[in-house]
Amino acid sequence: METDSTLDPTYCYSTKELAFRWNLSSETLRRIFLKEPGVMIFREQQAGKRVYRTMRIPGAVAIRVKNRMTVVSNAR
């Protein structure tokens, strides 16, 4: 398994931290990691139609998802 040297597998990242590192929006990361095994969702509050969640993503889970979603070209 390849590991991303910039992510610490023992640290739990917030969606905002990973969004900054991966240059994506926090909302996109919430959708990607919502049903991912190993992600911690601490709080769910519903205010009207919007659902608020506090998520923490372990580094090992983030590395697994990044490796799964990365496309490697076979250019020679």
Residue 12 identity: C
Predicted confidence at residue 1, as pLDDT, reads 41
15-57, pLDDT tens digit by residue?
A: 999 999 999 999 999 999 999 999 999 877 787 877 788 899 9
Q: Is the CB of residue 33 less than 8 Å from the CB of residue 57?
A: yes
Rounded Cα gap, residues 18 and 64, in angstroms: 13
Secondary structure letter of residue 25 according to DSSP: -
Predicted confidence at residue 5, as pLDDT, reads 61
Predicted confidence at residue 72, as pLDDT, reads 81
Predicted confidence at residue 71, as pLDDT, reads 84
Predicted confidence at residue 46, as pLDDT, reads 80
